[in-house]
Each structure stands twice: as structure tokens, then as C-alpha cells.
Amino acid sequence: QKEVEQNSGPLSVPEGAIASLNCTYSDRVSQSFFWYRQYSGKSPELIMSIYSNGDKEDGRFTAQLNKASQYVSLLIRDSQPSDSATYLCAVIKAGGYQKVTFGTGTKLQVIP
């Protein structure tokens, strides 16, 4: 079982719709969760972080964390073609160096 799992996609949504991206993690002691956006050929950029159960909203983005079920999701409201990218989920486990583990990413395509 991978430490951080994401569906590779592509996830296709029409412009203006809500895109829902999901991520599950295997280690229950994971404590910090991040979503990065990576455009093709570019480096990742941090868009959201979440540390406690529940929802966290930032503009059109909402991160949701459910530690009991070990999943974290990212909702993108009013999706735009410029949101088309690969979204990487990243998790930090507790203890020691607090290593960041990345998922392989979900490719999102927003269709105009």
C-alpha cells in the first residue's frame, strides 16, 4: 500500500463546475496535509495546507480533512481552464524529521 494514494486521472470537469480531488494516506500518525498544483513542465506550488479535521476555505479552494477515515480532499469551485494541472497531495508524518511524502498526483482537465 502506498503511503499517499491519489487517482491519477485525468479528471475532466466542465468550466464552472466543482472539481473534487481525493487523497488517502496510510499512516494514522500523519499530522499535516498539503495540496500542491503543478502545471505541465513546471515546478509544484503550494495552494492549501490543513492540519485539523474539517474544512478550510481559501477563495475558490476548500481543503477537507477526515483523520478517522484517513483522507484529505480538495474542492475547486467555479473551475476555470487555468485550473487544469496536476494536483499533488503531500503528507507529513509525526516524529523525527517529519518527512514529507507526496502522492503521484491527479491530473485535472477543465473543459471550456
Partner 1 sequence: DGGITQSPKYLFRKEGQNVTLSCEQNLNHDAMYWYRQDPGQGLRLIYYSQIVNDFQKGDIAEGYSVSREKKESFPLTVTSAQKNPTAFYLCASSIPPGRENYGYTFGSGTRLTVV
7, three cell numbers: 487517482
Nearest CB to partner 1, comparing residues 15 and 58: 58
Question: Per-residue contact track with partner 1, 34 to 73, x per CB under 8 A?
Answer: x-x-----xxxxx--x------------------------
Cα distance between residue 79 and residue 112, in whole Å: 10
Cα distance between residue 45 and residue 35, in whole Å: 9
Cα distance between residue 64 and residue 72, in whole Å: 6
* Residue 68 beta carbon to partner 1: minimum distance, rounded to whole angstroms: 22
3-state SS class at 16: coil
Q: Candidates 15, 16, 57, 99: give the one binding partner 1 (CB under 8 A).
A: 99
**Rule CB under 8 A: which residues touch partner 1?**
8, 32, 34, 36, 42-46, 49, 88, 90, 92, 97-100, 102-105
